[in-house]
Structure 1
Amino acid sequence: MANFSVQLIDLPDELLFIIFKKLNNVELLYSLMGINKRLDRILYDSIFTRRLTLIRSSSNRHIYPLRDEMLDRFCLEILPKIHHKIEWLTVESLSMERIFLVDDYSNLHQLGLLSIQWEGLERLFDAPNIDMKKKLDNLRCFSLISKNETFCYSQSIVPLLHRMSNLKRLDLYLIIDESKFIDGNCLNNDIINHLPRLNHFIFNIQSRIYEYNQTDIRSNEDIQITFKTFPNHKVISCVDFFPEQNFARCHYYSYPYTMENYDKISNNFPGGLFKCVREISLFDERPFQHEFFIKISEAFPFLQKLTLENFQSQNKKSDEDDQHLSIIEYSYLTELRLLDVHDDYIEQFLFHSKSVLPNNISLSVQYDFLKRVTNHFTREQTRINSAKIKHVFLAGPGQHHLSKDFYQYFPNLQSYCFSLIT
């Protein structure tokens, strides 16, 4: 960037604006702010400072903090100069405390909290120099997204939202652990009734109860009734019981669904069309039958990554049945994770009579299970789909010598790795 910046000095301001507008604001500020007064004057424009996303995201859509040197420079040099210009800020859990403590961001209108670790959020709330009663009147849009379970819905999240009385848009993606289901009535009483200007509420919430008494758990029909006062939304809900792990779950979301991932889908999945979703996980203590996977493929037509967890054998399978099954095509699938599964689900995806996998797919599987399902890498029914696998992650209790049959069975394999499990 240094050589690039020297060449930039010779360009007129109008051209610099055109060039800079095509670049990432965070990278731009990090690389060029402080080089000279002319560039600083341009970079201070609201076009480049109004909206900042201070996170990194990987190709698999995981969220990470900025690199240490970049975060240091923003917190020590850049944010102190432009905090009053920021109107839209997106941060993640590990770095948000440092970022928030730089200044009060007096003109902030939109705030996104992604990949939240609740311990960090609670620690931030308890910081002595933060007034937890101060109203956040400037905020118009707020997003709170976390894949981690939270035990602080009542004591932290609800009070935080009460401070944002002028919100017009709210996005919530939460997994809540409470002694009761957080349903539509709770959302009304805890949140909506305290946000009189709210006109756009997108949510995807899993409410979980551990060590439950099934006689005290309401049905899905009961849950649906609590959303009758949500006139601007179609709300989909699903109630599950998992006796082996001793928890009950109520999952509900506003539809159409806008997230890119859909987690812990069970046999009670209500269906629908989810064009935005690229990644899903499947989990149940009851077996998934072939018809379930047909439903999944139809609901998620652009699915790229699938993780499955189910140790229950399919109870509707035989060689004769396989001849009459509809073959499922996964046109966009790039990653398949089958580490915690019964052999039947490896067959479900590798049998060419059940599934058509795309080329260049990545497979994660326990080595001994794969060896057993493929009959020591000789089985014809699994050969066609195995030939499409380009990367394989093998898990097992020890290192294994990969035979000649293994390499012949996966002729297009470009890489593999072993991971020891005990």
Structure 2
Amino acid sequence: MVDKKKNRSEGDSVLSVFTSILNVFNNLRYLNCHPFVELDLPRLSFDEKTPTFFSSTIVELHITVEDFNDCLYLLNGRLSQLRTFYVKIYFFFLPSEVIKEKKSLPNMKCFSLMCKSEILCYNKSIVSLLQRMTNLEELALYIFVGQRTCLDGNCLKNDIINHLPRLNKFTFNIRSFIYDLDQADLLSNEYIQDTFKGLGDIQVISCVDYFPKQRTGQCHFYSYPYTLTYYNNITNNFTDGLFKFVREVSLFDEHPFEHEFFIRIARAFPLLENLSMINQTQQKQKLNNNNEHLSIIEYLHLNQLRFIDTHDDYVEQFLVNTNTCLPKNIRLFIHYDSLKRVTNNFTRVATRVNCCKINCLRIYNQFQISKRLTNYFPNAKILI
């Protein structure tokens, strides 16, 4: 309860600062609030309070907000001359009934929306908002949608592009996650790729995956070149390329990640810093004792490694120094039981070299910090 009060108080402070800026600087035309977040300050949130600010001069705003409703508050007429709007949304909740403004936004020329949180009301939120921007010329959309059907090029055309007659630049990174997948709903990547015909000069890369154990699937497509700093839910179907801006990657699959897959990841993301993975399936290569004479993989800029729900084989993949050469000063997030097994109760020679490069060890599950553990990770601060 104390933390909630603290967060609410900090959020009120950010709202107060934002309101003061708009009310004091009467001729303000450009405002970038992203540094608030970079300084680890709270995101802007109205928390269903009625905003008290107005500005008839600001034409460009860059901001990070708590949820989608905060975005709607900013577009409900209080910034009447806003033409360029870059917004990052941290959480995504259903649009509030309190915000009833549905008027068109004819002044909006350039709009960018980024949200890593799952969107469960795509049509009522994203589509509805974009169709209000009737004179939009540039659009950037980076979203993750969860629903019963797969988004594709036809959805973009019918729901967005056909409603924006002046749109001349459209960049996107859209991943739709499909729940309760029926066998009859399976679509090929070729079919999805074909739906993007007719988009002019936009080059689109798509990838479709199905996960029969979970009865789910995902369809990921993006406009090329890829300019984001993160790439989530990469599977074995990952389309190779060079992603020079990406610093954060997450891996997920029901099929095993073999050694060659991690070579592809290292090549595709040369500046990778943060890597996390989910995969409970054992490596076939190791199962068949076919892992000799494999090249050692290097991740030159890696500083954080997170094993969320992984088979021990992937812990070995990164901790055994004949598989992977880790750089120094790595933050490792891992379950205690898995770490204990892979290191043979913190005695294994093959994992000692890389474990000495860990400077922060975050261990999950109950355990006691033993002398054997601390000796095996001599440079690590151990967090529980």
Q: TM-score range by the shorter chain?
A: 0.7 to 0.9
Q: Does 2:72 match 1:106?
A: no
Q: Which amino acid aligns with 1:105?
A: L
Q: Which amino acid aligns with 2:318?
A: F
Shift of 1:226: 0.7
Structure with bigger helix share is 1
Instruction: Determine if contact 1:361/1:391 at 8 Å carries over to the other structure.
Output: yes
Instruction: Determine if contact 1:54/1:66 at 8 Å carries over to the other structure.
Output: no
Q: Does 2:125 match 1:156?
A: yes
Q: Does 2:270 match 1:304?
A: no
> Which digits, 9 at most, give the CA deviation of each residue in 1:241-287, with x for residues without a partner?
11121112111111111111111111111111111111011001111
The sequence identity of aligned pairs, in percent, is 44
2:338 and 2:37 map into 1 onto residues whose CA distance is: 33
Q: Does 2:39 match 1:52?
A: no
2:65 aligned partner: 92
Shift of 1:392: 0.5
Unaligned runs of 5+ in 2: 1-12
Shift of 1:116: 4.8
> Which digits, 9 at most, give the CA deviation of each residue in 1:168-222, with x for residues without a partner?
1111122223332211011111111111111111111112221122233210001
2:76 and 2:171 map into 1 onto residues whose CA distance is: 30
2:159 and 2:105 map into 1 onto residues whose CA distance is: 17
Q: Does 2:127 match 1:127?
A: no
1:102 and 1:198 map into 2 onto residues whose CA distance is: 22
1:98 and 1:115 map into 2 onto residues whose CA distance is: 11
Structure 1 stretch displaced more, 400-409 or 378-387: 400-409
> Which digits, 9 at most, give the CA deviation of each residue in 1:52-109, with x for residues without a partner?
32674258xx9941499xxx9xx65xx44xx222212224134826953895211101
1:5 aligned partner: none
Instruction: Determine if contact 1:55/1:92 at 8 Å carries over to the other structure.
Output: no
Q: Which amino acid aligns with 2:373?
A: F
Shift of 1:153: 1.8
2:42 and 2:172 map into 1 onto residues whose CA distance is: 23
Q: Which amino acid aligns with 1:349?
A: F
Secondary structure of residue in 2 paired with 1:189: helix
Secondary structure of residue in 2 paired with 1:307: strand
1:20 aligned partner: none
Q: Which amino acid aligns with 1:209?
A: I
Instruction: Determine if contact 1:55/1:66 at 8 Å carries over to the other structure.
Output: no
What TM-score do the two structures reach when normalised by structure 1?
0.79
Q: Does 2:378 match 1:417?
A: no
1:98 and 1:253 map into 2 onto residues whose CA distance is: 25
Q: Does 2:373 match 1:403?
A: no
2:178 aligned partner: 209
Instruction: Determine if contact 1:93/1:113 at 8 Å carries over to the other structure.
Output: no
Q: Does 2:206 match 1:232?
A: no
Aligned equivalent of 2:312, options 343, 352, 356: 343
Aligned structure 1 segments of 4 or more residues deviating by more than 3 angstroms: 43-46, 318-323
Describe how 1:68-79 pairs up with structure 2 within 5 A: 79=53
1:314 and 1:320 map into 2 onto residues whose CA distance is: 10
Q: Which amino acid aligns with 1:104?
A: R
Q: Which amino acid aligns with 1:299?
A: A
In structure 2, the CA distance between the partners of 1:242 and 1:236, relative to structure 1 (3 Å rule), is same
Q: Which amino acid aligns with 1:127?
A: V
1:117 aligned partner: 91
Describe how 1:21-420 pairs up with structure 2 within 5 A: 30=17, 43-46=25-28, 49-53=29-33, 56-58=36-38, 64-66=42-44, 79-80=53-54, 83-89=55-61, 90-94=63-67, 96=70, 100=74, 104-119=78-93, 122-123=95-96, 126-127=97-98, 130-132=100-102, 134-317=103-286, 321-396=290-365, 398=366, 400-413=367-380, 415-418=381-384
Q: Which amino acid aligns with 1:309?
A: I
> Which digits, 9 at most, give the CA deviation of each residue in 1:306-342, with x for residues without a partner?
0110111111017964441111100011100013111
Instruction: Determine if contact 1:63/1:92 at 8 Å carries over to the other structure.
Output: no
Instruction: Determine if contact 1:235/1:253 at 8 Å carries over to the other structure.
Output: yes
1:127 and 1:55 map into 2 onto residues whose CA distance is: 29
> Which digits, 9 at most, give the CA deviation of each residue in 1:364-403, with x for residues without a partner?
001111011001111111011101000000001x2x2222
Number of equivalent positions: 367
1:115 and 1:326 map into 2 onto residues whose CA distance is: 41
Shift of 1:406: 1.5
What TM-score do the two structures reach when normalised by structure 2?
0.87
2:30 and 2:308 map into 1 onto residues whose CA distance is: 44
Instruction: Determine if contact 2:181/2:217 at 8 Å carries over to the other structure.
Output: yes
Secondary structure of residue in 2 paired with 1:107: coil
Instruction: Determine if contact 2:230/2:249 at 8 Å carries over to the other structure.
Output: yes
Shift of 1:411: 1.6
2:184 and 2:58 map into 1 onto residues whose CA distance is: 51
1:10 aligned partner: none
